[in-house]
Chain A
Amino acid sequence: MSRAQVEERVFGVLRWVVIAFLALITLAPFYYMLLLSVKPIDALLLDPGNLWVSARDFTLDTYREVLKPTSEGGQGFVGMLTNSALVSLGTVALTLLAAVPGAYAISRLKFFGGRHVSVLFLAVYLFPATLLAVPLFVMFAKMGLQGSLAGLAIVYIAQTVPVSIYMMKNYFVTIPLSIEEAAALDGCTRLQAVRKVVLPLALPSLMATGLYIFMIAWNEFLFALLFLAAEPDRWTVSLGLQQLAGGIEVSKTVLMAGSVVLTIPVVLLFFAAERLLTEGLTSGADKA
């Protein structure tokens, strides 16, 4: 057999091994999460290696306990879900509002300092979140915004503006200039042309960007920890789960139910818009 044939065989087999391996490492942890979330803690302690849950053990009490408000002896995840949703939606609105004009200007218009500004927007990523954490922590302590959800949403803008500008800029470039010129001939001002022509055309990109921002805000942990740790009423789901996981009072399977509750909204959103998202993020990578 020639070298080419040997390699053909070896890699033909290897490819399926790799595919199976990838499926295992990506799905197994999530299966494990779901599995433990419907077991009572005794069943887990009795047989930690079990990959199945028997009909006798199957329970949804874990979910009941994790969702019930703390006043009724639960862990209050419904309240935390509301907090997370408020912060995330607020961040989406604020970031889009802040990023759309800049992305449009950078992609469409030649203006003084334009290139420097677009470099600056990307350079923001060079600076670690920890570098921002210190002054924001101090500033919020000073302004009394510590422990407020609105303050958190403002902080998240810093995390999401650069990538939003980048994603939308890539899309704006693909909208033909002539459409805007036609609008201008019909008497639109530039602002009207953007609002009535460009933005509707860029709707897929706006949605993808919005979803991405939502996911970043929903999953964020460091700033929630810094600003909200002392205020259990305002905990986001991420923070609540981490804080409870540190203690020993709440059983692990109940917290697993909490993990599922935390994960599901993001995963659902993601699968609803997978195409949109992955293309928005990697557009340009194939041209590089």
Chain B
Amino acid sequence: MTRADSGAERRRGRPLTARARENRAGLAFVTPTFLVVLVVVVLPILWTVLLAFQNARLVDIQGMGLFGNWTLDNFDSVFGSPGFWTSLLTTLGYTVGATAGSILLGLVAALALRRPFRGRGPLRAAMLLPYVAPVVAVAFVWEIALSPQFGIVNEWGTKLLGWDQPIAFLSTRAYEVSVLGMEFELPLALLTVIAFETWRYFPFAFLFLLARLQAVPDGLEEAATVDGATITQRFRHILLPQLMPVIALLSVLRFIMTFNKFDDVYLLTGGGSGTDVVAVRVYEFLTARYDVGAAAAQALVLALILMVLLGLYFTFFAKKVQEEA
């Protein structure tokens, strides 16, 4: 009896331990997801890397193998093409401006809506509108509202605020302003696009910051109030340190998202008037010139720059935030 049993067991292999069974189940469950991510994300990205080093135009790609036609010309044409460095600078300015703007406005909003008041619920919901509404629709509304011919902003600006003439917000590369006799040039179109981005994404920051704010124990602030701390002091020394990890996380998330952003800029200005961010250039390479290799190289350079920036952030700043928190 026992012998037969052990014989059978030996044939099937030893019964699996609980851990081994869990391991198997885990692998079985994760495999479908992993395969999907592999096929729709990882493999295309690897292919981009290959394409960046190949002489590939859309017309020849039909007959082309996966390998071969190696060249470094694409990087030459990326770094050597006129406007690459200014475009990179524009992308950075746009990203930093929009990231800082949306988090700052989100923070202000979270602080203002922290304590209950009548109508807070509806307002809180309404404030998420810019974030959930389709980008094409809201970009179109902005475009019309800012239009120099029939936009409400220019109409009111010239009638009520005494502007000399309508301002073409979305197509003015440099707007001259004189403050105290000094002449400045504002990159107006870029600032408008940053304002749009700030408007569209402050609700995202607001949501996260409000959730964190409401988890701050009341006792901390009460104690500080009893000790005579003013509102600004309580914010600086109690709330801000509590919020810092969330703000850091939001900064990284928004930075990554904005750095690669295409839709918003393309829809508002088409990349003209000093708003030619790199993502729009990639699109132009791809669709206007059908130069797949150069587009891939450009996208790759953009991704590498982003990684370097993130690497710098995590080595130098992430620890500091952790310590402060």
B61-77 residues with Cβ-Cβ distance < 8 A to A are 61-62
User: Is the pair B134, A32 in contact by a Cβ cutoff of 8 Å?
Assistant: no
CB pair A285–B212 under 8 Å, yes or no, is yes
User: Smallest CB–CB gap between B106 and chain A, Å?
Assistant: 10
The residue of chain A having its C-beta at the shortest distance from the C-beta of B295 within the complex is A134
| Bound-state Cα–Cα, A255 to B144, Å | 11
Give A133 to B151 CA distance when docked, in angstroms. Answer: 34
B191-235 toward A: CB 8 Å interface, digit per residue (1/0)?
A: 000000001000100011001101100000000000011111000
Give the segment of A57-65, A67-75, A155-163, A199-207 that binds chain B. A155-163
Q: Is the CB of A218 within 8 A of B30?
A: no
In the complex, are the beta carbons of A109 and B33 less than 8 A apart?
no
B22, A117: Cβ atoms closer than 8 Å: no
Contact with B along A21-60 (1 / 0, CB 8 A): 0110111011011001000000011001101000000000
Verify if B307 is at the interface (C-beta below 8 Å from A): yes
| Number of A-B residue pairs with CB-CB distance less than 8 Å in the complex they form | 282
Q: Are A288 and B155 in contact (CB under 8 A)?
A: no
Would you call A262 and B32 a contact (CB within 8 A)?
A: no
Taking CB atoms, residues of chain B closer than 8 Å to A120 are 37, 42
Contact A7 B232 (CB under 8 A): yes
Bound: A114/B229 CA distance, A:
48
Q: With an 8 A cutoff between CB atoms, is B189 at the interface?
A: no
B26: chain A residues at CB < 8 Å are 105, 108-112, 114
Verify B259–A139 contact, CB threshold 8 A.
no
- Scan residues 244-280 of chain B and give those whose CB is less than 8 A from a CB of chain A: 245-246, 249, 256, 259-260, 262-263, 267, 279
The interface bits of chain B over 104-126 (1 if a CB of A lies within 8 angstroms of the residue's CB, else 0) are: 00001100110001000001011
Q: Is the CB of A221 within 8 A of B263?
A: yes
B30→A134 contact, CB < 8 A: no
Given contacts A129-B260, A131-B303, contact A158 B33 (CB under 8 A): no
Return chain B residues, CB-CB under 8 Å to A259: 136-137, 140-141
> Using an 8 Å CB-CB cutoff, how does the interface string of B288-324 with A read, 1 for contact, 0 for none?
0000100110011011001100100000000000000
Of the stretches B7-15, B44-52, B81-89, B177-185, the one at the interface is: B44-52
Q: Are A222 and B152 in contact (CB under 8 A)?
A: no
Cα distance A200–B267 in the bound complex, in angstroms: 41
The one of A102, A132, A139 in contact with B34, judged by C-beta atoms closer than 8 angstroms, is A102
B130 within 8 A of A: yes
A142 contacts B62, C-beta separation under 8 Å:
yes
Nearest neighbor of A15 in chain B, beta-carbon distance? B112
A137 to B154 CA separation, bound complex (whole angstroms): 40
Bound-state CA distance A239–B267 (Å) is 11
Classify chain A's interface size: 35 or more
State A106–B249 Cα separation when bound (angstroms): 22
Please state if A138 and B61 are interface contacts (CB–CB under 8 Å): yes
Q: Which residues of A contact B61 (CB under 8 A)?
A: 138, 141-142
Could you tell me the distance between the alpha carbons of A85 and B79 in the complex, rounded to whole angstroms? 42
Contact of B33 among A32, A98, A222, A271 (CB under 8 A): A98
Q: How far is the CB of B293 from chain A (nearest CB, A)?
A: 9
Contacts of B140 in A (CB 8 A): 241-242, 245, 255-256, 259
Given contacts A128-B303, A161-B33, A221-B267, whether A45 and B150 have CB atoms under 8 Å apart is yes
Assembly CA distance A200 to B134 (angstroms): 31
Do the beta carbons of B199 and A25 come within 8 Å of each other? yes
A128 touches B302 (CB 8 A): yes
- Give the shortest distance, in Å, between B141 (CB) and chain A (any CB): 5
User: Does B138 count as interface, using CB distance less than 8 angstroms?
Assistant: yes
* CB of B133 within 8 Å of the partner chain: yes
B30 pairs with A29, CB closer than 8 A:
no
Residues of B near A155 (CB, < 8 A) are 40
Distance between A137 CB and nearest chain B CB, rounded to angstroms: 6
The CA of A260 and the CA of B144, in the complex, are separated in Å by: 14
Known: A109-B26, A110-B22, A259-B137. A130 touches B207 (CB 8 A): no
Which residues of B are at the interface with A, using a C-beta cutoff of 8 A?
19, 22-27, 29-34, 36-37, 40-45, 47-48, 51, 56, 58, 61-62, 108-109, 112-113, 117, 123, 125-130, 132-138, 140-145, 149-152, 154-156, 159, 199, 203, 207-208, 211-212, 214-215, 228-232, 245-246, 249, 256, 259-260, 262-263, 267, 279, 282-283, 286-287, 292, 295-296, 299-300, 302-303, 306-307, 310
Q: A49-B155, A158-B41 are in contact. List 4 more A-B contacts (CB 8 A).
A: A3-B230, A32-B141, A101-B30, A131-B300
Binding site for B on A (CB under 8 A): 3-4, 7-8, 11, 15, 18-19, 22-23, 25-27, 29-30, 32-33, 36, 44-45, 48-49, 51, 98-99, 101-106, 108-114, 117, 120-121, 124-139, 141-142, 154-155, 157-158, 161, 165, 190, 215, 218-219, 221-222, 226, 237-239, 241-242, 245, 252, 255-256, 259-260, 262-263, 266-267, 270-271, 274, 278, 281-282, 285-288
